[in-house]
Amino acid sequence: MKAAPIKTFFTRLFGMHTEERAWGRGAEGEERVGQLLEPLRPRGWFIQHDVKIGRTGANVDHLVVGPPGVYVINTKFLSQKVWVAGHVIQVGGANRNYVRKGEAEAKRIREELSAVTRRRSLWVQSLLVFVDAELVVKEQPRNVPVLGAHELVPALLAQEATLEREEVVALARAAHRLATRD
The 10s digit of each residue's pLDDT in 109-152 is 999 999 989 998 899 999 999 999 999 999 999 999 999 999 99
- Residues whose CB is less than 8 angstroms from the CB of residue 31 and which lie 6 or more positions away in sequence, other chains included: none
Residue type, 142: R
Residue 177: what pLDDT? Answer: 83
Rg (CA), the chain: 17
Under 8 Å between Cβ of 141 and 86: yes
Sheet holding 94-96, edge to edge: 94-96, 88-91, 81-85, 134-139
Write the secondary structure of the chain as one string of H (helix), E (strand) and C (coil): CCCCHHHHHHHHHCCCCCHHHHHHHHHHHHHHHHHHHHHHHHHCCEEEEEEECCCCCCEEEEEEEECCEEEEEEEEECCCEEEEECCEEEECCEEECHHHHHHHHHHHHHHHHHHHHCCCCCCEEEEEEEECCEEEEEECCCCCCEEEHHHHHHHHHCCCCCCCHHHHHHHHHHHHHHHHCC
Residue 176: what pLDDT? Answer: 86
Residue 48: what pLDDT? Answer: 92
Residue 1: what pLDDT? Answer: 43
Half-sphere exposure of 152 (CA within 13 A, CB side): 28
Is the pTM higher than 0.85? The answer reads: no
Q: Can you tell me the distance from the alpha carbon of 27 to that of 154, in angstroms, rounded to the nearest whole number?
A: 23
Q: How high is the mean pLDDT in each 10-residue block of the chain (182 residues)? A: 49 51 58 94 94 76 96 93 95 94 94 90 95 95 96 97 94 85 64
Residue 85: what pLDDT? Answer: 96
Residue type, 26: G
Residue 68: what pLDDT? Answer: 96
Residue 15: what pLDDT? Answer: 53
